[in-house]
Amino acid sequence: MYKVFVNEKPLFLTNKIEKETNFKFYLLETVNIPKVISELFLNKIQSAYLYHSDEKLIMKTLKSKIPVAKAGGGLVFNANGEVLFIFRNGKWDLPKGGIEKDETIENAAMREVEEETGVSGLKITEKLQKTYHVFKRNGVFKLKITYWFKMQTNFTGKTCPQEKEGISKAVWLKPSEIEAALGNSYENIKLLFETEHANVSIEK
């Protein structure tokens, strides 16, 4: 099952029949995707399930119905075990950005981390999960697929938040500080810290 966030509300892609209770259930092959997305954006519904019998074709079918934008991002650790966060548009986030022509996803992820935070000397140590959310640009809904990588750096210099991208802070947060930051973050970012692959010990 895939989870796509629309205005922080979940759109589930599944190959299992669910008994409808407090959510809407649609057939992925015939659903009017822009209509469902609009209802989620406008808070007319709080969640929805899109059903397709073949799990292998679920995401392919969705991508045939909505334009796709790809991005790369980093869950970056320093030598002290702290995690690199940015503060943008009033929320805590992780550095990420679009992939340029002829650029690998890995290189895009490291370039975006360095551009948005000023942190260099990055090394990818692990491939993490992809996250999905829908955004609207020029009146068109698009599916953003973000490829995440766990990274390590020995960088000890001063961070430099990319202000032209609306980033006001780029800071290293201790494990004891991460939970509070996630309380003012995005659902996709929270997913990265829920997975065992992140290996982040959040102190409560």
Q: Is 80 exceeded by the pLDDT of residue 38? A: yes
Our CA angle for 50, 22, 25, nearest 5°, is 20
The CATH number that domain 70-198 falls under is 3.90.79.10
H-helix or E-strand containing 24?
A: strand 24-27
Considering the entire predicted model, what is its pTM?
0.90
For 55-81, what is each residue's pLDDT tens digit?
A: 889 999 999 999 999 999 999 999 999
For 119-160, what is each residue's pLDDT tens digit?
A: 999 999 999 999 999 998 888 999 999 999 999 999 999 999
pLDDT band at 204 (very low <50, low <70, confident <90, very high): very low
How far apart (Å, rounded) are the C-alpha atoms in residues 49 and 81? 38
How far apart (Å, rounded) are the C-alpha atoms in residues 26 and 120? 45
How far apart (Å, rounded) are the C-alpha atoms in residues 126 and 106? 11
Residue 20 tokens read as 């409808």
How far apart (Å, rounded) are the C-alpha atoms in residues 132 and 43? 19
Within the chain, all domains assigned CATH 3.90.79.10 are found at 70-198
Instruction: Say which range, 13-17, 72-76, 141-145, 167-171, has the weakest mean pLDDT.
Output: 13-17
Q: What's residue 91's pLDDT?
A: 96
Which of 171, 169, 152 has the alpha carbon at shortest distance from 161? 169
